[in-house]
């Protein structure tokens, strides 16, 4: 073999060996990363084992903590109790085969039906569940209000049990007549600044509600940039007049529109009219000043808060 060729091969041998060692090191780094990421996913204990054992050793370390299994929360049986009380109040032992009696007995087979006199006004106009209280696991007490056409309002508490999945219910006893819920104490309103009826803010909200409730104009022209709000459709009223505006900030009552970006919260009382009469309505809204005018930034009725930009 020529000396030049032997020299070239002898020079190439160390380079090839160095390249092989470099590739081996790269593989070890990649394997180390894989082991480290796997250990992080497995938990702190496995991470410690992986770090101590090196890149070529993977040890599975079982956790001594029990696995948390979430079970479905017990569903509120308020609707079930409401259906039962409605059917029970419309039932009679004299007509145990009526549709309402059969429904009541299917929901609570061990509960006796009422026995009203024939002349009694016993059929409620509406029945509504107003409160649910969970006593123990699966045991509930549901308060139901029955409103009659003559204005009477009676409350009943119904014991209901629910299974572990919250998919099945049973009325476990007869309804009990109880006093209605007490009226909760009302805190002081944050809206304490009286806003002039002839000011810029009152005019802005009047025009907005005219578009929102009667379809007089486009709602979008009264909204702050980025806010999306659709008018009530079809328009339920033919006219809307602002009765009073109260603000939470002094800026709401300013004679001139404040600087750009100024925000205020107000409560607006309006009177809406249709063919059926006049209707007092109230709204809490947020407004923002921009370019010398007030724009609606949020309507506190659920419409904007739940589905629109704000």
The pLDDT of residue 23 is: 55
User: How many CB atoms are closer than 10 A to CB 70?
Assistant: 5
The pLDDT of residue 293 is: 97
Residue 193 CA to residue 205 CA, distance in Å, equals 16
For the entire predicted model, the pTM comes to 0.63
According to DSSP, the residues that pair with 277 across neighbouring strands are 274
Fold of 193-307: Nuclear Transport Factor 2; Chain: A, (3.10.450)
Question: What averages of pLDDT result for each successive group of 10 residues across the chain (310 residues)?
Answer: 46 46 53 47 44 44 45 73 96 92 95 85 89 88 95 95 86 95 90 96 97 95 95 96 97 96 97 97 97 95 40
Token pair listed for 205? 């909200």
CATH class of the domain defined by 78-178: alpha beta
The pLDDT of residue 309 is: 35
Asked whether the beta carbons of 281 and 269 are under 8 A apart, the reply is: yes
- Tell me, letter by letter, the H, E, C secondary structure of 96-148: CCCHHHHHHHHHCCCCCCCCCCCCCCCCCCEEEEEEEEEEECCEEEEEEEEEC
User: How many CB atoms are closer than 10 A to CB 240?
Assistant: 22
The pLDDT of residue 30 is: 54
Domains 78-178 and 193-307 share a fold: yes
The pLDDT of residue 50 is: 41
Spell out the domain ranges in the chain.
3-53, 78-178, 193-307
């Amino acid at each position: 073999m020529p000396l030049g060729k032997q020299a070239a091969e002898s020079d190439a041998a160390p380079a090839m060996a160095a390249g092989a060692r470099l590739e081996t090191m790269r593989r070890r780094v990649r394997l180390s990363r894989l082991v480290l990421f796997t250990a992080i996913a497995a938990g702190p204990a496995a991470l410690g084992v992986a770090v101590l054992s090196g890149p070529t050793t993977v040890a599975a370390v079982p956790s001594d903590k029990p696995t948390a299994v979430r079970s479905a929360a017990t569903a509120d049986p308020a609707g079930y109790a409401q259906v039962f009380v409605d059917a029970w109040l419309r039932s009679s032992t004299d007509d145990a085969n009526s549709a309402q009696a059969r429904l009541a007995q299917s929901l609570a087979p061990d509960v006796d039906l009422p026995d009203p006199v024939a002349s009694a006004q016993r059929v409620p106009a509406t029945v509504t569940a107003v409160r649910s209280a969970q006593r123990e696991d699966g045991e509930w007490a549901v308060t139901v209000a029955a409103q009659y056409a003559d204005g009477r309002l009676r409350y009943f508490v119904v014991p209901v049990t629910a299974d572990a999945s919250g998919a099945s219910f049973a009325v476990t006893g007869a309804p009990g007549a109880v006093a209605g819920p007490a009226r909760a104490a009302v805190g002081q309103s944050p809206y304490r600044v009286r806003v002039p009826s002839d000011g810029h803010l009152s005019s802005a909200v009047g025009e907005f509600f005219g578009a929102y409730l009667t379809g007089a104009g486009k709602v979008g022209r009264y909204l702050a940039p980025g806010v999306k709000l659709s008018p009530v459709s079809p328009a339920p009223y033919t006219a809307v007049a602002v009765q009073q505006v109260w603000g939470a900030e002094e800026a709401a009552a300013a004679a001139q529109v404040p600087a750009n970006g100024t925000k205020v919260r107000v409560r607006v009382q309006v009177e809406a009219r249709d063919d059926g009469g006049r209707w007092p309505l109230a709204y809490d809204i947020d407004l923002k000043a921009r370019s010398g005018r007030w724009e609606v930034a949020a309507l506190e009725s659920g419409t904007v808060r739940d589905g629109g930009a704000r």
